[in-house]
Each structure stands twice: as C-alpha cells, then as structure tokens.
C-alpha cells in the first residue's frame, strides 16, 4: 500500500527548517489572518447590502456568513500553492496565484454556501450571486494579498539598511 503524499505545491508552503522558520511561520499566520479578514469584510458588506445586520454588533452572524467562502478557500488554495513562501515578497506572482486559487476555490465556496444556507434562488439569481462572489472575493483577496507581498518585499530592505 502506497503512502499518500501532499502535492508539491502544498509541500512548498510548509516552513523550511532553517533560520527563517520563525519569520516564515509568522508571515504565514499573518497571511491566513488577512485572508480570513478579507472574507469577513466580504460577508459584512454583503449582509449590509442585503439589509441584514452587519458590523461589530453582528460579528457572529457575519462570521457564519463568511465560513463557507473561507472554508472553500482554505480547502483549495493551499493545494494550488497560494501559501508558498516564494510568493511572500513578489506582488505580481502573489496576485496571479491568488486569482488562480480563488477561481478554483470559488465553485467549492458556492456549493458550501448553498449547503449551509439553501436560499430559494432562481437560476438567474444564483448566477448573479455566484458572479458577485467570484468578483468581490477576487478583488478583496487580490488587494489584501498584493499589499501583503509589497510589505514583505520592503520590510527586509528596511532592516538591512539599519
């Protein structure tokens, strides 16, 4: 019986056992936290647009709304290399990998959302809803992760100049 192995892209996202392991681990945690916040912002904006409670008073409701989208992302994105360390300081590569990973995670997120909250939508409404999910999260994730890569690119340079 063959031992199951992770795909190469998932293995690349694991920290290397070297002096940079501490930095890599903290940066990975920051990236996951930012991704989570991105989905919370998306859910909060969506709830507000539809007249539902949103904001800090409804953080629990916003979090429940965000769960299927975040879960779809975190189930798919690591397998597509969206958490590779070599993307951390490369804004264009980070943006490209993020958008590819979200495009692949998006159908999973939509299916999970339909399972968690089966709204009675017509096919046209479902198509519109899915398109909004695709575009809005592509923008939110792309903006956040590109900003992250820009920060990661310039922080080490500032430390070297001291």
Q: Is there a contact between 54 and 48 (Cβ–Cβ < 8 Å)?
A: yes
Q: Is there a contact between 117 and 104 (Cβ–Cβ < 8 Å)?
A: no
CA-closest candidate to residue 137, choices 50, 53, 77: 77
pTM, two decimal places? 0.78
Q: Is there a contact between 72 and 109 (Cβ–Cβ < 8 Å)?
A: yes
What is the Cα–Cα distance from 109 to 70, expressed in whole angstroms? 7
CA-closest candidate to residue 71, choices 34, 38, 109, 106: 109
Tokens encoding 25: 């681990």
DSSP 16: P
pLDDT of residue 62: 87
CA-closest candidate to residue 70, choices 33, 125, 27: 33
In sequence order, what are the residues at sequence separation of 6 or more whose Cβ sits closer than 8 angstroms to the Cβ of residue 142? 95, 98, 99, 102
Report the chain (162 residues): mean pLDDT per 10 consecutive residues.
51 44 74 96 88 75 92 97 89 96 97 86 89 96 95 67 46
pLDDT of residue 55: 66
CB atoms within 10 A of CB 17: 7
């Amino acid at each position: 019986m063959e031992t199951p192995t992770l795909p190469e892209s998932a293995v690349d996202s694991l920290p290397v056992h070297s002096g940079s392991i501490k930095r890599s681990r903290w940066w990975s945690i920051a990236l996951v936290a930012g991704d989570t916040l991105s989905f919370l912002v998306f859910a909060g904006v969506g709830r507000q647009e539809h007249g539902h409670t949103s904001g800090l008073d409804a953080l629990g409701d916003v979090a429940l709304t965000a769960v299927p989208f975040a879960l779809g992302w975190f189930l798919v994105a690591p397998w597509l290399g969206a958490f590779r360390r070599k993307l951390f300081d490369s804004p264009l590569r980070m943006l490209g990998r993020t958008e590819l990973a979200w495009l692949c995670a998006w159908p999973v997120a939509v299916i999970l959302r339909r399972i968690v909250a089966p709204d009675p939508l017509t096919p046209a409404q479902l198509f519109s809803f899915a398109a909004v999910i695709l575009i809005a999260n592509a923008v939110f994730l792309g903006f956040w992760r590109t900003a992250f890569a820009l920060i990661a690119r310039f922080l080490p340079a500032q430390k070297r100049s001291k």
